[in-house]
Chain A
């Protein structure tokens, strides 16, 4: 069974950097857009951005552009979400998700057919 395996929970202080990961256990990592989705406690889901691992083409939500970096490592089938300077408001659960392809056409803004279990990030002084 293909899974997206996310890294463990993190506790950080404001201003610190952080990189969390999402590893695709299957063999189609370079054939799907991989997205990151945020869920602030008590709130809904927000799309942050997506990456095409084959060439690292990346699309960001305007709400997150400039504050996060999404990257991918084809050699390990792993996508990363990175902050250079965390804020308390970054406290949230972060999910990676794979966008479905329709008849071999893969789009960055598509529904998600596979999700990870989430990585809880807590930022507190």
Chain B
């Protein structure tokens, strides 16, 4: 079973800063079936990126996903106040689909 490790656990930043969130797989992922979600408290999680780098419909261009193999990254170019949330990566495509434990982006 592949384990996804997200780092850092918490990122303390200010509006306007850039953010780089890491998701590392314990084994190489042969297909880029990795998604990223944003989760604000009390709200439904929101799909940001799928296929490692494809932005979901309606997601602002400041969010970008990249990576392959074992290392994946979500980059937020300039943080807006609404971007302070928890971000999860998700490896999908098989019955062993799994999530990372999340990175909290806080002010």
Q: Which of A17-56 contact B (CB under 8 A)?
A: 37, 43-47
Task: Classify chain B: how many residues form its interface, as a range.
Answer: 20 to 34
**Smallest CB separation, A71 vs chain B (Å):** 19
Task: Report the minimal beta-carbon distance from B66 to chain A, rounded to whole angstroms.
Answer: 16
The B interface, classified by DSSP as helix, strand, loop or mixed, is: loop
Which of A43, A47, A59 has the largest count of B CB atoms less than 10 A from its CB?
A47
Per-position 1/0 for B60-81, Cβ under 8 A of A: 0000000000000000000000
- Contact A44-B47, Cβ < 8 Å, known A109-B92, A109-B97, A111-B35: no
Q: Are B43 and A117 in contact (CB under 8 A)?
A: yes
- The distance from the CB of B101 to the nearest CB of chain A, in whole angstroms, is 4
CB-defined contacts of A117 to chain B, threshold 8 Å: 42-44
Do A115 and B94 contact each other (CB < 8 Å), given the known contacts A44-B88, A44-B102, A100-B50? no
Chain A to chain B contacts (Cβ below 8 Å), 30 pairs = A43-B101, A44-B99, A44-B100, A44-B101, A44-B102, A45-B99, A47-B98, A95-B45, A97-B45, A100-B47, A100-B50, A108-B95, A109-B93, A109-B94, A109-B95, A111-B33, A111-B35, A111-B47, A111-B50, A111-B92, A112-B37, A112-B47, A112-B90, A113-B47, A115-B37, A115-B45, A115-B46, A116-B44, A117-B43, A117-B44
Name A residues whose Cβ lies closer than 8 Å to a Cβ of B.
3-4, 37, 43-47, 59, 61, 95, 97, 100, 107-118
Q: Give the 10 A-B CB pairs with smallest separation, nearest first.
A: A44-B101, A111-B35, A45-B99, A115-B44, A115-B45, A111-B50, A117-B44, A111-B92, A109-B97, A113-B47
